Amino acid sequence: MNTIQDGSRARLLRVIGGLALVVQSIVFESTFGIVTDPGVSGILRDVLSGGLLLVASVCLLVGVYFR
């Protein structure tokens, strides 16, 4: 791979990770009071929230690593 492709992939991963983190924060943690009820509850809510947080963390870390 050339460095231009690697740089753009790393940037894309950081953007996706940041966006996933913001979505997880707004929807599942009720940040800013925008979404009061995400439409799921209980274990499913925990799984979706944790999964989105995991995806965000992995994308951010891999994006920073490849930078």
Question: Tell me, what's the pLDDT at 61?
Answer: 94
* Residues counted in the chain: 67
Using CA of residue 27, residue 31, residue 35, residue 41, what is the dihedral sign?
positive
What's the pLDDT tens digit per position in 13-64? 999 999 999 999 999 988 888 888 888 888 999 999 999 999 999 999 999 9
Q: Which range of residues forms the domain containing residue 58?
A: 3-66
Question: Tell me, what's the pLDDT at 44?
Answer: 94
Q: What pTM was estimated for this model as a whole?
A: 0.81
Q: Which residue has the tokens 């995806």?
A: 55
> What is the average pLDDT across 3-18?
86
Number of domains in the chain: 1
* Contacts for 20 with CB less than 8 Å, ≥ 6 apart: 52, 53, 55, 56, 59
pLDDT band at 1 (very low <50, low <70, confident <90, very high): low
Question: Tell me, what's the pLDDT at 30?
Answer: 87
